[in-house]
């Protein structure tokens, strides 16, 4: 069960009166007496105002697995909230423009649960709005390549009008020190795919929360692809708000030496007959390659007939890596179709390499075979053939450039 | 005709207690089409011989040579040895996450032959070989050895033996952990491979029971890292009756 220690929602009761009970037979006085952790994932403290959050210590549930000291500028510093350069080719049925903070859609999909997100929310000047209409299938790629290396705030709205259909790819490259919030709003019976691709430069830091609200009979496919950057933390949070709503959350990450790639996924089943599937797969290679996956699923008391399954798989390709994988499932109604989770972290080691080589396969090919086989399940489901092919190539290039060297030495 | 020659092979491994000498001058010649059984007590170095032939990095060759049709095997990488025609059926085949049996077999076959097999005949070959080994079709889509039982792993080794068609195969205790039905199925597979390709076999085993189904031309008794005695199939019968005590006693005195 998820539990977040915060004192904001539960004021400590006053100390009990002095009594004459037997020594030892009284409440502890360890300073947190009366403290009750948040009991439900949806009860976490939320605010759009950065001042409502205490300074980040790294002990908070949302931060405890993140290297918080490396981005105090994003959690506590001043951010540049101005408009930045984007590029995209025009697509019929999709508008891309900058809207004011007063836009009615802002704040409808979610609210920050931590300080970096609130800092961005307090600071952004205009939001980038990608609005989808029309029932024909279409695909748009919005590229952000010039965010610069100073701390920045951003806000993105992706809205799919009722009955519309599209694939929206957010392509992120170049330098960045970015904290942002992305709101994804699906109207009734819309069918939206959002792919967020992080191929930042080596030193980049990117903290983002994707808040999605899925309307009646709508379907959201959300894909997180994190490959490049120093610290990349993408936390998708999906509320299945309308009955019959459906979401497929996919993730694909490949951490090299020194990289921290994190994703905290949260699915809130808040309507009957909603369905969710979560599959995140990651590979780790090189000294201090680090990944974090936390998967929270909350099946609320309104969500009768829910069908839910989440899984995380990690493939460790070398020594010196760490993969955290924490699935949490919270169920408030007994009337569901299914709810399950799975997590596994496997290792590709010298014995496996020997086995494949003993069948004539070269070392290079062996690694490619294993990683490709492992990640293909996710790549194949993205649904954009161009992007799928490009990612396959990128991953194989990454595989060769980063780790075949130390591995070759190891295997003699 | 192909020939695999092992000459005065000395091998050590690095242990926590320092370097340990395991093979002390192994001499053995296997011709194409011959079946040699290597039998010996636990710890005599049988598996070391198998892994050294395949090129496992853990084993250090101190001296001697292994020649395949005159070419030095010891200077080849593990994958080069396989492409040269050597095969090791492992005692404990490892699990390969993320790689299906189908994908693995096709990749290995392509690597060994230097070109991708023709799709239609290949699929037929794989299906046929699986049926012969009583492997369910679903194996093809499972990850290599992942969740396989001991017997299924051994069948999967023999499946590869049949499909990759090596010149020489080393079977490292392929019989261990198999019940009698599985032992028969696996043995049939080995005999079929030999019939079809005429390969030479080095059959490493502790017990004689697999020799009821796979008939060796030569039997070598392996003790303390070298061949202590060799003979024909009758030697196996004698070991069945007497065990290895006869070979162990003098070594203890020594």
Residue-wise pLDDT tens digits, A142-155? 999 999 999 999 99
The domain locations on chain B are: 34-55+75-247
pLDDT of residue A407: 41
Percent of chain A with pLDDT over 90: 78
pLDDT of residue A346: 84
Interface subset of A 252-291, CB within 8 angstroms of B: none
pLDDT of residue A402: 57
List the single residue in B79, B83, B99 with the smallest CB-CB distance to A370: B99
CA distance A115 to A125: 18
For chain B, the straight-line distance linking the first and the last C-alpha, in angstroms and rounded, comes to 41
Task: Identify the CA nearest to A281 among candidates A315, A309, A322.
Answer: A315
pLDDT of residue B128: 96
Residue A31 has pLDDT above 70, yes or no: no
Contact call for A356 and B98, based on CB within 8 A: no
Dihedral sign, Cα of residue B186, residue B191, residue B197, residue B201: positive
Per-residue pLDDT tens digits for A54-64: 999 999 999 99
CA distance to partner chain B, nearest, from residue A67 (Å): 30
CA distance A210 to A107: 12
pLDDT of residue A86: 97
Contact call for A362 and B104, based on CB within 8 A: no
Chain B residue numbers with beta carbons less than 8 Å from the beta carbon of A315 are: 97-98
Residues in B whose CB is inside 8 Å of some CB of A read: 54-57, 77-79, 81-83, 87-88, 90, 93-100, 103-104, 107-108, 111-112, 143, 160, 164
Tell me the angle at which helices B150-164 and B119-132 cross, rounded to the nearest 10 degrees. 140
Contact call for A354 and B95, based on CB within 8 A: no
Contact call for B57 and A354, based on CB within 8 A: yes
Per-residue pLDDT tens digits for A128-140: 999 999 999 999 9
CATH of domain B34-55+75-247: 3.40.50.300
Is A77 at the interface with chain B, CB within 8 A?
no
Chain A residue numbers with beta carbons less than 8 Å from the beta carbon of B141 are: none
CA distance to partner chain B, nearest, from residue A26 (Å): 52
Residue A89 has pLDDT above 60, yes or no: yes
CA distance A159 to A213: 10
Size of interface A-B (CB pairs under 8 A): 82
Contact call for A360 and B96, based on CB within 8 A: no
Residue A352 has φ and ψ, to the nearest 5°, of -70, -40
Chain B residue numbers with beta carbons less than 8 Å from the beta carbon of A347 are: 97
User: Mean pLDDT, to the nearest integer, of A322-338?
Assistant: 94
Contact call for A360 and B112, based on CB within 8 A: yes
CB A334 within 8 A of CB A304: no
User: Mean pLDDT, to the nearest integer, of A349-365?
Assistant: 93
CA distance B124 to B193: 16
Residue A374 has pLDDT above 90, yes or no: no
Per-residue pLDDT tens digits for A280-321: 999 999 999 999 999 999 999 999 999 999 999 999 988 999
CA distance A215 to A104: 17
List the single residue in B57, B79, B90 with the smallest CB-CB distance to A362: B79
What is the band of A371 on the pLDDT scale with cuts at 50, 70, 90? confident
List the single residue in B57, B81, B98 with the smallest CB-CB distance to A411: B57
List the single residue in A350, A360, A373 with the smallest CB-CB distance to B111: A360
List the single residue in B94, B103, B108 with the smallest CB-CB distance to A360: B108
What is the band of A406 on the pLDDT scale with cuts at 50, 70, 90? very low
Per-residue pLDDT tens digits for A191-248: 999 999 999 999 999 999 999 999 999 999 999 999 999 999 999 999 999 999 999 9
Unique residue bearing structure tokens 């004021």:
A11
* Token pair in block for residue A307: 């069908």
List the single residue in A360, A370, A372 with the smallest CB-CB distance to B97: A370
Per-residue pLDDT tens digits for B41-79: 988 999 999 999 999 999 999 999 999 999 999 999 999
At A296, is the secondary structure helix, strand, or coil?
Answer: strand
What is the band of A373 on the pLDDT scale with cuts at 50, 70, 90? confident
Is A15 at the interface with chain B, CB within 8 A?
no
Unique residue bearing structure tokens 């309507």:
A271
Chain A residue numbers with beta carbons less than 8 Å from the beta carbon of B57 are: 350, 354, 411-412
CA distance to partner chain A, nearest, from residue B66 (Å): 16
What is the band of A372 on the pLDDT scale with cuts at 50, 70, 90? confident
Is A351 at the interface with chain B, CB within 8 A?
yes
What is the band of B98 on the pLDDT scale with cuts at 50, 70, 90? confident
Contact call for A357 and B82, based on CB within 8 A: yes
Per-residue pLDDT tens digits for B8-26: 999 999 998 999 999 999 9
Task: Identify the CA nearest to B198 among candidates B159, B167, B160.
Answer: B167
pLDDT of residue B223: 93
Per-residue pLDDT tens digits for A266-284: 999 999 999 999 999 999 9
What is the band of B248 on the pLDDT scale with cuts at 50, 70, 90? confident
CA distance to partner chain B, nearest, from residue A354 (Å): 7
The residues that bridge with A210 in the sheet, in sequence order, are A182, A236
Is A315 at the interface with chain B, CB within 8 A?
yes
Residue A7 has pLDDT above 70, yes or no: no
Nearest CA in chain A to B101: A373
């Amino acid at each position: 069960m998820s539990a977040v220690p915060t004192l904001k929602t539960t004021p400590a009761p006053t100390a009990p009166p002095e009594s004459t009970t037997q020594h030892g037979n009284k409440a502890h006085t360890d300073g947190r007496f009366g403290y009750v952790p948040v009991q439900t994932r949806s009860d976490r403290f939320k605010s759009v105002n950065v001042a409502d959050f205490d300074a980040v210590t790294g002990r908070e549930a949302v931060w405890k697995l993140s290297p918080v000291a490396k981005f105090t500028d994003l959690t506590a510093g001043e951010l540049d909230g101005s408009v930045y350069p984007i590029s995209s080719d025009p697509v019929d049925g999709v508008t891309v423009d900058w809207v004011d903070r007063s836009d009615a859609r802002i704040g409808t999909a979610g609210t920050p649960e931590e300080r970096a997100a609130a800092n961005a929310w307090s600071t952004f000047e205009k939001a980038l709005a990608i609005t989808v209409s029309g029932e024909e299938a279409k695909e748009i790629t919005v590229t952000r390549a010039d965010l610069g290396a100073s701390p920045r705030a951003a806000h993105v709205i992706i809205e799919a009008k009722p009955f519309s259909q599209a694939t929206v790819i957010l392509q992120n490259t170049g330098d960045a020190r970015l904290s942002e919030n992305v709101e994804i709003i699906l109207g009734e019976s819309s069918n939206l795919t959002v792919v967020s691709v992080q191929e930042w430069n080596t030193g980049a830091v990117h903290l983002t929360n994707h808040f999605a609200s899925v309307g009646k009979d709508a379907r959201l496919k959300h894909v997180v692809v994190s490959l490049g950057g120093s610290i990349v933390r993408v936390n998708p949070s999906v509320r299945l708000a309308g009955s019959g709503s459906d979401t497929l959350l996919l993730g694909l990450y490949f951490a090299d030496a020194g990289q921290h790639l994190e994703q905290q996924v949260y699915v809130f089943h808040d309507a009957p007959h909603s369905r969710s599937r979560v599959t995140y797969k990651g590979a780790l290679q090189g000294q201090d390659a680090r990944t974090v996956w936390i998967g929270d699923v909350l099946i609320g008391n309104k969500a009768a007939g829910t069908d839910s399954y989440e899984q995380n798989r990690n493939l460790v390709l070398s020594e010196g890596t760490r993969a955290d994988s924490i699935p949490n499932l919270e169920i408030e109604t007994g009337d569901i179709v299914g709810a399950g989770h799975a997590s596994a972290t496997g290792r590709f080691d010298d014995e496996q390499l020997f086995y494949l080589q003993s069948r004539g396969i070269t070392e290079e090919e062996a690694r490619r075979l294993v990683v490709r086989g492992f990640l293909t399940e996710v790549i194949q489901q993205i649904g954009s053939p161009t992007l799928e092919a490009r990612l396959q190539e990128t991953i194989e290039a990454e595989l060769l450039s980063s780790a075949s060297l130390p591995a070759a030495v190891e295997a003699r | 005709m192909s020939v695999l020659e092992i000459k005065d092979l000395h091998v050590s491994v690095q242990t926590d207690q320092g370097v340990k000498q395991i093979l002390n001058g192994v001499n053995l010649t296997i011709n194409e089409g011959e079946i040699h059984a290597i039998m010996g007590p636990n710890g005599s170095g049988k598996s070391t011989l198998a892994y050294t032939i395949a090129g496992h990095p853990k084993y250090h060759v101190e001296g001697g040579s292994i020649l395949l049709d005159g070419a030095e095997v010891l200077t080849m990488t593990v994958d080069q040895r396989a492409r040269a025609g050597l095969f090791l059926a492992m005692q404990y085949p490892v699990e390969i996450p993320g790689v299906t049996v189908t994908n693995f077999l096709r990749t290995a076959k392509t690597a060994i032959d230097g070109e991708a097999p023709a799709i239609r005949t290949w699929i037929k070959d794989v299906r046929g070989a699986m049926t012969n080994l009583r492997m369910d079709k679903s194996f093809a889509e499972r990850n290599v050895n992942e969740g396989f039982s001991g017997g299924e792993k051994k069948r999967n080794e023999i499946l590869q033996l049949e499909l990759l068609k090596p010149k020489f195969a080393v079977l490292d205790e392929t019989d261990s952990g198999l019940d009698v039905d599985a032992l028969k199925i696996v043995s049939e597979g080995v005999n079929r491979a030999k019939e079809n390709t005429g390969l030479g076999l080095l059959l490493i085993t502790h017990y004689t029971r697999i020799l009821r189904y796979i008939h060796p031309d030569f039997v070598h008794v392996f003790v303390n890292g070298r061949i202590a005695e060799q003979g024909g199939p009758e030697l196996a019968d004698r070991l069945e009756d007497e065990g290895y005590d006869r070979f162990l006693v003098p070594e203890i005195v020594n």
